[in-house]
Structure 1
Amino acid sequence: MYPNTPNPSNSGQNPFMIQKEDEIDLKVLLFNYLQYWVLILACMFIGVLGAFLFNRYATNIFKVESSILVVDDKPSLGTDLFESSGLGMLQGKSNIENEIGIIKSFSLAEEAVTELNLNVQYYKEGFVSTSQIYEKLPIHVTVDWNQSQLVGGKFRLEVLNEDSFELSIENDEFRIFNPKDPYYKILPEDETTLSKSVYSFGEEIQGENFTFTINQIAALPGDIVLFNLVDTPSLALKYREELAVAPINKQASILSLSLETPVRRLGEDYINKLMEMYLARELDEKNRASENTVRFINEQLSGISDSLRFSENKLQQYRTENKVFNLSEEGSVVFERLQELEKEKGEAEIKLKYYKVLKDYLASDQSGEMMAPSVMGVTDPLLNSLVQAYSELQADQVRLSANFTDINPSVRENATRVQNIKKQLQENVSSALGNTENLITDLNGQIRMLEVDINSLPETERNLIGIQRQFTINENIYVYLLQKKAEAEITKAANMPKNSILDFAKSGQLPVAPKRSLNLLIGLILGLILPIGFITIKDFLNTKIEDPKELENQIKVPLIGMIGRNNSEDNIPVMNNPRSSVTESFRSLRADMSYLSPHRDNLTILFTSSISGEGKTFVSINVASVYALMGKKTLLIGLDLRKPKIAEDFGLVNDKGMSTCLSSDISWRDVVKPTGHKDMDVILSGPIPPNPAELLLQDKFGEIIKEIKAEYDVVIFDCPPVGLVSETKELFGFADISFFVFRQGYSMKGNSQILNNLVEKGGVSKIYGILNDVHIDKGYGYGYGYGYGYGYGNNSYGYHEEVQLPWWKRALRRK
Structure 2
Amino acid sequence: MKSKNIDWEDEADLSTNPSSDTDFRRIIGIVLSNWYWFLLCGLIGLAFSFFKVRYSVPSYNIRAKLIVSDDKKGGDLSASPLGELSGIMGTKSSVENEVEVLKTSDLMREMVLAEQAFITYSYTGKFHKVPIMAPPYKLEILSSPDSISTTYDFKIIPGDKGRFKLESEGISKSVKHGEAFLIDGLGTFRLYQNASPTDAEGYYGVRVASVRSTISGLSKSFSVSVTNKNVSTIDLTLVHQLPKQGERLLKSLIEKYVERNLHDKNVVADSTLSFINERLSKITDELAGVEDRISGYKQNTQLADIGEQSRILLENSANYTKSIAEAETQLSALDAITSYLSDTRNPRVVPSSILAQDGTFAALTSKYNELVLQRERLLLANTEDNPLVQNVTNQIAGLRDDMIANVGSTRRQLELAKQNQVQLSNRVTSQIQRVPTIERGYIDLARLQQIKQAQYIFLQEKWEETAIGRTANVSNSKIIDSPKGDVLPFEPKRRMTYALGLVLGLAIPALLLWLKDLLNVRIQSIDDIERNSSLPILGMIAHSEEHDQVVVSKTSRSPIAEQFRAMRTNLEFALNGGKILLFTSSMSGEGKSYVALNLAVTLALLDKKVLIMELDLRKPSITSKLGLLAGSGFSHYVVRQDMRLEEIIMPSGAHENVDLIQAGAIPPNPAELLVHHRTQELVRELSKRYDYILMDAPPVGMVTDAQLLSRYADSCLYLVRQGFTYKEQLRIPNELVLSNKIKPIHLIVNDVQKKGGYYSGYGYGYGYGYGDYGQEEKRRKRWQFWKK
The CA distance in 2 between the partners of 1:313 and 1:575, in whole Å, is: 151
1:297 aligns with 2:276: yes
Cα deviation for residue 586 of structure 1 reads: 0.8
Partner of 1:642: 618
Partner of 1:372: 352
1:652 alignment partner, SS class: coil
Q: How does 1:17-32 map to 2 (within 5 A)?
A: 17-20=11-14, 22-32=16-26
Partner of 1:79: none
Q: How does 1:243-258 map to 2 (within 5 A)?
A: 243-258=222-237
| Amino acid in the other structure paired with 1:36 | V
Cα deviation for residue 520 of structure 1 reads: 2.6
The CA distance in 2 between the partners of 1:808 and 1:616, in whole Å, is: 36
1:174-194 Cα shifts (integer Å, max 9, x gaps): xxxxxxxxxxxxxxxxxxx33
1:321-364 Cα shifts (integer Å, max 9, x gaps): x9549741018957787677655544432222224455677898
1:353 aligns with 2:348: no
Q: 1:164 to 1:675 in 2, by over 3 A?
A: farther
2:225 alignment partner, SS class: strand
The CA distance in 2 between the partners of 1:356 and 1:806, in whole Å, is: 118
Match for residue 588 of structure 2 among 608, 612, 620: 612
2:716 alignment partner, SS class: strand
1:734 alignment partner, SS class: coil
1:491 alignment partner, SS class: helix
| Amino acid in the other structure paired with 1:271 | L
The CA distance in 1 between the partners of 2:786 and 2:703, in whole Å, is: 33
Match for residue 483 of structure 2 among 505, 527, 535: 505
Cα deviation for residue 262 of structure 1 reads: 1.6
Q: How does 1:650-669 map to 2 (within 5 A)?
A: 650-654=626-630, 657-662=633-638, 669=646
| Amino acid in the other structure paired with 1:597 | L
Moved more, 201-210 or 62-71: 201-210
Partner of 1:743: 721
Q: Normalised by the size of structure 1, how large is the TM-score?
A: 0.79
The CA distance in 1 between the partners of 2:756 and 2:65, in whole Å, is: 62
The CA distance in 2 between the partners of 1:464 and 1:768, in whole Å, is: 141
1:262 aligns with 2:241: yes
Match for residue 218 of structure 2 among 239, 246, 270: 239
Q: 1:67 to 1:28 in 2, by over 3 A?
A: same
The CA distance in 2 between the partners of 1:24 and 1:364, in whole Å, is: 88
Match for residue 53 of structure 1 among 27, 51, 54: 51
Cα deviation for residue 637 of structure 1 reads: 2.8
Q: 1:400 to 1:563 in 2, by over 3 A?
A: farther
1:18 alignment partner, SS class: helix
Q: How does 1:50-449 map to 2 (within 5 A)?
A: 50-73=48-71, 95-136=94-135, 138-142=137-141, 144-145=143-144, 148-161=147-160, 163-169=162-168, 193-194=170-171, 196=172, 198-206=174-182, 208-218=184-194, 220=196, 224-301=203-280, 303-304=282-283, 307-308=286-287, 318=296, 324=300, 327-330=303-306, 333=311, 345-358=324-337, 370-373=350-353, 376=354, 378=356, 380=357, 383=358, 385-394=359-368, 432-445=410-423, 448=426
Cα deviation for residue 723 of structure 1 reads: 0.4
Cα deviation for residue 589 of structure 1 reads: 0.4
Partner of 1:484: 462
Partner of 2:752: 774
Q: How does 1:526-537 map to 2 (within 5 A)?
A: 526-537=504-515
Paired residues of 1:202 and 1:213 also in contact (CA < 8 A): no
| Amino acid in the other structure paired with 2:31 | Y
Partner of 2:670: 692
Paired residues of 2:66 and 2:477 also in contact (CA < 8 A): yes
1:596 aligns with 2:594: no
The CA distance in 1 between the partners of 2:618 and 2:779, in whole Å, is: 33
Cα deviation for residue 25 of structure 1 reads: 1.7
1:564 aligns with 2:542: yes
Q: 1:341 to 1:529 in 2, by over 3 A?
A: same
Q: 1:702 to 1:810 in 2, by over 3 A?
A: farther
Partner of 2:703: 725
1:612 alignment partner, SS class: coil
1:436-482 Cα shifts (integer Å, max 9, x gaps): 33443355456556656776777777667666765665465445434
Cα deviation for residue 735 of structure 1 reads: 2.2
1:551-604 Cα shifts (integer Å, max 9, x gaps): 23533432111112223344432249922222211110001122122446xx32
The CA distance in 2 between the partners of 1:572 and 1:107, in whole Å, is: 92
Q: Normalised by the size of structure 2, how large is the TM-score?
A: 0.81
| Amino acid in the other structure paired with 2:12 | I
2:761 alignment partner, SS class: coil
Partner of 1:81: none
The CA distance in 1 between the partners of 2:289 and 2:272, in whole Å, is: 26
1:693-728 Cα shifts (integer Å, max 9, x gaps): 344343333444444444433322221101011222
Moved more, 244-253 or 217-226: 217-226
The CA distance in 2 between the partners of 1:511 and 1:577, in whole Å, is: 75
The CA distance in 1 between the partners of 2:784 and 2:637, in whole Å, is: 40
Cα deviation for residue 433 of structure 1 reads: 3.3
Paired residues of 1:101 and 1:400 also in contact (CA < 8 A): no
Between Structure 1 and Structure 2, how many residues are aligned?
745
Paired residues of 1:568 and 1:805 also in contact (CA < 8 A): no
Paired residues of 1:777 and 1:783 also in contact (CA < 8 A): no
1:613-665 Cα shifts (integer Å, max 9, x gaps): 22222211221222233333333332223333334433334466444555566
The CA distance in 2 between the partners of 1:229 and 1:64, in whole Å, is: 23
Cα deviation for residue 495 of structure 1 reads: 0.9
The CA distance in 2 between the partners of 1:419 and 1:285, in whole Å, is: 20
Partner of 1:633: 609
| Amino acid in the other structure paired with 2:490 | V
Match for residue 36 of structure 1 among 25, 31, 39: 31
1:62-96 Cα shifts (integer Å, max 9, x gaps): 111111112223699xxxxxxxxxxxxxxx99922
1:624 aligns with 2:603: no
Moved more, 158-167 or 736-745: 158-167
The CA distance in 1 between the partners of 2:210 and 2:301, in whole Å, is: 74
Q: Structure 1: where are the runs of 5+ without partners?
A: 1-5, 77-91, 171-192, 404-413
The CA distance in 2 between the partners of 1:519 and 1:648, in whole Å, is: 65
The CA distance in 2 between the partners of 1:367 and 1:68, in whole Å, is: 33
Q: 1:612 to 1:152 in 2, by over 3 A?
A: farther
The CA distance in 1 between the partners of 2:239 and 2:550, in whole Å, is: 74
2:411 alignment partner, SS class: helix
Partner of 2:494: 516
The CA distance in 2 between the partners of 1:288 and 1:131, in whole Å, is: 45
Q: 1:586 to 1:361 in 2, by over 3 A?
A: farther
1:244 alignment partner, SS class: strand
Q: 1:811 to 1:778 in 2, by over 3 A?
A: closer
Q: 1:525 to 1:690 in 2, by over 3 A?
A: same
Paired residues of 1:30 and 1:779 also in contact (CA < 8 A): no
Paired residues of 2:754 and 2:760 also in contact (CA < 8 A): no
1:605 alignment partner, SS class: strand
| Amino acid in the other structure paired with 2:69 | V
Paired residues of 1:28 and 1:779 also in contact (CA < 8 A): no
1:118-176 Cα shifts (integer Å, max 9, x gaps): 12222222444323223345231426336743423433332234623333325xxxxxx
The CA distance in 1 between the partners of 2:251 and 2:632, in whole Å, is: 103
The CA distance in 2 between the partners of 1:228 and 1:576, in whole Å, is: 87
Q: 1:291 to 1:659 in 2, by over 3 A?
A: same
Paired residues of 2:18 and 2:531 also in contact (CA < 8 A): no
Residue identity over aligned pairs, in percent, reads 28
Paired residues of 1:40 and 1:528 also in contact (CA < 8 A): yes
1:783-813 Cα shifts (integer Å, max 9, x gaps): 3533xx144437x47455698999999999x
The CA distance in 2 between the partners of 1:441 and 1:691, in whole Å, is: 134
Paired residues of 1:605 and 1:735 also in contact (CA < 8 A): yes
The CA distance in 2 between the partners of 1:678 and 1:325, in whole Å, is: 173
